[in-house]
Amino acid sequence: MITTIRPWKQDDLDELVLYANNRNVWNNLRNYFPHPYTTESGLAWLEKVVDAPLPAINFAIEVDGTVAGGIGLILNGDVYIKSAEVGYWIGEPFWGKGVATEALRQITEYAYATFDLVRLYAEVFESNKASMRVLEKNGYYLEGVRRKSVFKNEILMDDFIWVKLRGW
């Protein structure tokens, strides 16, 4: 199985909607990720990311030629200019096969090679042990817990901040 990250293409619409339209994916993401994830949602996403200015910050995750998810960076501004958040999702049929681990490895390497960053981080809901394991496997460490900072599905949760500093 070969996992790669690559820029989004207009052709990705059907696979994007097929895998993104899943409550089990959405449950672990912020509410700006649409649910239900319609064709219009997919078109709006592709409108934003296809042919976006370089260097790219959003990528499709491709597994053996199929779009299996997405991964991206949010570059911070102001005094946080040296930090970026990383976020990702994998279509449910591809879970448990090491896809997120490999995609995170690739974007971490890309981020430090491409941008003048010193800090990459992810913010993970407390229930999402699989994502925390993906970060741990990539050398990210648990920096802290923001108690009761997330309100999702009518449930108040902690979120866990995982960090990988440049060169560590």
Ligand X SMILES: CC(C)(COP(=O)(O)OP(=O)(O)OC[C@H]1O[C@@H](n2cnc3c(N)ncnc32)[C@H](O)[C@@H]1OP(=O)(O)O)[C@@H](O)C(=O)NCCC(=O)NCCS
DSSP state at residue 19? H
In angstroms, rounded to a whole number, what is the distance separating the alpha carbons of residues 130 and 88? Answer: 12
Question: Between residues 51 and 145, which has the closer beta carbon with respect to ligand X?
Answer: 145
Question: Between residues 30 and 166, which has the closer beta carbon with respect to ligand X?
Answer: 30
In angstroms, rounded to a whole number, what is the distance separating the alpha carbons of residues 146 and 80? Answer: 18
Among 9, 35, 97, 105, binds ligand X (CB under 6 A): 97
Is the Cβ–Cβ distance between 118 and 76 less than 8 Å? no
Which helix (H) or strand (E) covers residue 14, if one does? helix 13-20
Is 28 among the residues that bind ligand X (CB under 6 A)?
yes
Stretch that binds ligand X, among 76-84, 86-94, 108-116, 140-148 (CB under 6 A): 86-94
Is 99 among the residues that bind ligand X (CB under 6 A)?
yes
Place of tokens 């923001």: 146
- Applying CB under 6 A, the site for ligand X has a residue count of 21
Is 61 among the residues that bind ligand X (CB under 6 A)?
no
In angstroms, rounded to a whole number, what is the distance separating the alpha carbons of residues 107 and 116? Answer: 14
Applying CB under 6 A, which residues contact ligand X?
25, 28-29, 88-90, 95-101, 122, 124, 128-131, 133-134
